[in-house]
Amino acid sequence: MLGRLRSRAEDLYEQVLTAELEETPTHVAVIQDGNRRYASKQGADPSEGHRAGAGTTEAFLDWCDELGIQEVTLYTFSTENFQRSPEEREALFDLIEEKLREFADSDRIHQGEVRINAIGQLDRLPERLRDTIAYAHDRTAEYDEMQVNIALAYGGRAELLEAARKIARDVDAGEREPAAVDVEVVEEALYEGPKHDVDLILRSGGDERTSNFLPWRANGNEAAVCFSAPYWPEFRKIDFLRAIRTYEHREESRRQTRARRAKALVQALGDTARSAGEEHLDRGATAANADGDDDRPADRTDVDPAD
């Protein structure tokens, strides 16, 4: 009985949160943390936690589709994850390969015209997984309604370092002038795939850090960040809607800040214009006095106009 009441209350709360949404982010980046801790809490192997987390990921993509979010980036396997035991790594690679093929062949992916893309140091992955990535990409390459980026063997510093080396090679070869290196050049050198800057970074599992995730596309855009307590397998739509509310508050704060700055700028320009006008009038008055006879003021009434 208590469980049914709690479930009903959550449903109602979810409806309220959904109704209150005024805008949604274009690009959401997710750090799916807490799978192993969830498994430990259940007394299960880490692989069971990863599989439970994969179920949440599928549901999460459905929520994004419902809310009209155009792009999602999933932090699925970081460069630091290579330090895990060979057994856990292989189990993860098996799961990622399985889910990627399921996605690539899923009716809902094709009906929703979802494009699947992978970013990271893909050459570090097993050949079988690289083949699956290519399969998923080719199956969905023509779609553009929604894009899902899978970050595999990904690290933000590694991405920026590779971009810097690529630009340096172009400069060294005489193909680019150093002074011509600007924001657009750097963005072209980053991993191919993401189409939009990140609006919201979401991390489950309670840790309050972004773990080297999309530093150029997120921090440069001043993305909103939401840290959520539930482990990823326990993450609910309510938690996602709360995260979007964080994004909305961030956007409102940014709009208010921009409005204050614009008002201050207009006021400063007005003050400058008034000051310049007063200075101009003062100069005019000084010049008029210099042209006249100091001993015979222009407003004397005892002067005969005929003189």
pLDDT for res 307? 40
- Per the model's pLDDT, the better-predicted residue between 275 and 109 turns out to be 109
Neighbours of 37 (CB within 10 A): 16
pLDDT for res 9? 76
Mean pLDDT of 292-307: 41
pLDDT-based confidence at residue 231 (cuts at 50, 70, 90): very high
Neighbours of 69 (CB within 10 A): 20
pTM over 0.85: no
Task: Name, in order, each residue with C-beta under 8 angstroms of 27's C-beta and a sequence gap of 6 or more.
Answer: 69, 70, 71, 72, 73, 194, 195, 196, 197, 198, 199, 200
Task: Name, in order, each residue with C-beta under 8 angstroms of 256's C-beta and a sequence gap of 6 or more.
Answer: none
Work out the angle at residue 208's Cα, subtended by the Cα atoms of residues 202 and 212, and round it to the nearest 5 degrees. Answer: 70
In whole angstroms, what is the distance from residue 178 CA to residue 244 CA? 40
pLDDT tens string 26-71 = 999 999 999 999 999 999 999 999 999 999 999 999 999 999 999 9
In whole angstroms, what is the distance from residue 88 CA to residue 69 CA? 32
pLDDT-based confidence at residue 302 (cuts at 50, 70, 90): very low
Task: Name, in order, each residue with C-beta under 8 angstroms of 36's C-beta and a sequence gap of 6 or more.
Answer: 46, 49, 50
Place of tokens 């326990």: 234
Q: What is the mean pLDDT of the chain?
A: 86
pLDDT above 70 for 274: no
pLDDT for res 288? 55
Classify burial at 149, counting beta carbons within 10 Å of its beta carbon; exposed 0-12, middle 13-18, buried 19 or more: buried
Using DSSP's 3-state secondary structure scheme, residue 152 falls into strand
User: Which residue in 45, 65, 81, 170 is the catalytic one?
Assistant: 81
- DSSP H helices in the chain: 2-20, 35-42, 46-67, 86-105, 107-111, 127-140, 156-172, 183-189, 237-291
Contact of 49 with 38, CB cutoff 8 Å: yes
pLDDT above 90 for 280: no
pLDDT for res 222? 82
pLDDT tens string 71-90 = 999 999 999 999 999 999 99
pLDDT tens string 120-143 = 999 999 999 999 999 999 999 999
pLDDT for res 306? 39
Structural tokens at position 31: 């750090």
User: Which residue in 33, 149, 197, 199 is the catalytic one?
Assistant: 33
pLDDT tens string 168-187 = 999 999 999 999 999 999 99
199 is catalytic: no
Structural tokens at position 89: 């790594």
33 is catalytic: yes
Phi then psi for 67, rounded to 5 degrees? -90, 0
pLDDT-based confidence at residue 20 (cuts at 50, 70, 90): confident
| Range in 193-202, 205-214, 292-301 with the lowest mean pLDDT | 292-301
Structural tokens at position 238: 């309510």
Structural tokens at position 36: 């192993």
Q: Which amino acid is at 153?
A: A
pLDDT for res 292? 52
In whole angstroms, what is the distance from residue 217 CA to residue 286 CA? 58
pLDDT tens string 201-218 = 999 999 999 999 999 999
